[in-house]
Amino acid sequence: MSAPAAEKIFGRPESLKDVATHYCPGCGHSVAHRLVAECLDEMGLREKTIGVPPVGCAVLAYNYFNFDMVEAPHGRALAVATGIKRVRPDSFVLTYQGDGDLAAIGTAETIHAANRGELISCIFINNAIYGMTGGQMAPTTIIGEVTTTTPGGREAKAHGSPIDISRMLAVCEGAVYIERCTLNSFKGIKQAKKAIRKCFQVQVDGLGFGLVELLSPCPTNMKMSPKQAWQWIDNQMMKTYPLGLIKDTTGYEDK
């Protein structure tokens, strides 16, 4: 009598290498990496994918993702991705960028890639702080948030208000899908995966630029426990960055 065939119901996505990451306990990057990898696997895109990581905490993402990747200078991921996609339109091109990379030093590259409607999928990790450099103010740092360069908390008058780049991008004609999700709860993560899949589909269907913003906890630099950092996203960060669909001109029925 033969044993019943084993059915694999859970495992490491092929798009993720079998290595330990350098991310801190409670950080959102590991979860975001996994969601990206799962979606690429499920959509059969891994072997077509060329990824561009940011400068920031995810700068070493090419050590974790199991597909072709090229490093970009800080903020220039979407310019590099534009060059890739235009030369190889059949590739699936992905950028994975933090808030400093995408919404401060790379603001021009971000807005113009979106405005040109480049067929690129952008995963935007918003943790409201500069992680890699040790906790300085980010463009997305919220009012009152204490960072190493806003020791008295961010003030609009002195430091400017937090930038909502996703809403800014929504006015660009070429951006067809923008959604903000969170990585601090199971429900949030589930929705984030749905959004990432849809964002990838936008590129596969050749509709235009797609971006998913992920609110992501940074317990180390917030000087909080992981649990506190997750709660902070619920209690503080979402007031500035409410979750939900920001733009959708895809025409997909699920919207």
What is the binding site for other proteins (CB under 8 A)? 46-50, 52, 59-60, 62-63, 65-73, 76, 79-88, 91-92, 108-109, 111-112
**What is the smallest separation between the CB atom of 20 and other proteins, expressed in angstroms?**
15
| Dist. CA 143–CA 160, nearest whole Å | 9
**What is the smallest separation between the CB atom of 71 and other proteins, expressed in angstroms?**
4
**What is the smallest separation between the CB atom of 3 and other proteins, expressed in angstroms?**
34
**What is the smallest separation between the CB atom of 12 and other proteins, expressed in angstroms?**
15
For 160, the token pair is 């400017």
Distances (CA, A) of 148 to 68, 134, 141, 241, 246: 35, 8, 12, 22, 31
Pick the closer one to other proteins by CB: 40 or 222.
40
The single residue listed with the structure tokens 């090229």 is: 70
Pick the closer one to other proteins by CB: 92 or 96.
92
**What is the smallest separation between the CB atom of 91 and other proteins, expressed in angstroms?**
6
How many Cα atoms sit within 13 Å of 36 on the Cβ side? 35
**What is the smallest separation between the CB atom of 146 and other proteins, expressed in angstroms?**
29
Pick the closer one to other proteins by CB: 23 or 241.
23
- Give long-range contacts, CB 8 A cutoff, 24+ apart: 29-32: 29/57, 29/58, 29/125, 29/216, 31/183, 31/189, 32/96, 32/123, 32/125, 32/183, 32/192, 32/214, 32/216
Amino acid occupying residue 118 = E
Nearest in space to 63 (alpha carbons), one of 109, 38, 29: 29
Taking the C-alpha atoms of 39, 33, 65 and 223 in order, what is their torsion angle to the nearest 10 degrees? 180
Nearest in space to 228 (alpha carbons), one of 237, 61, 129: 237
Pick the closer one to other proteins by CB: 43 or 70.
70
Pick the closer one to other proteins by CB: 74 or 167.
74
Pick the closer one to other proteins by CB: 88 or 187.
88
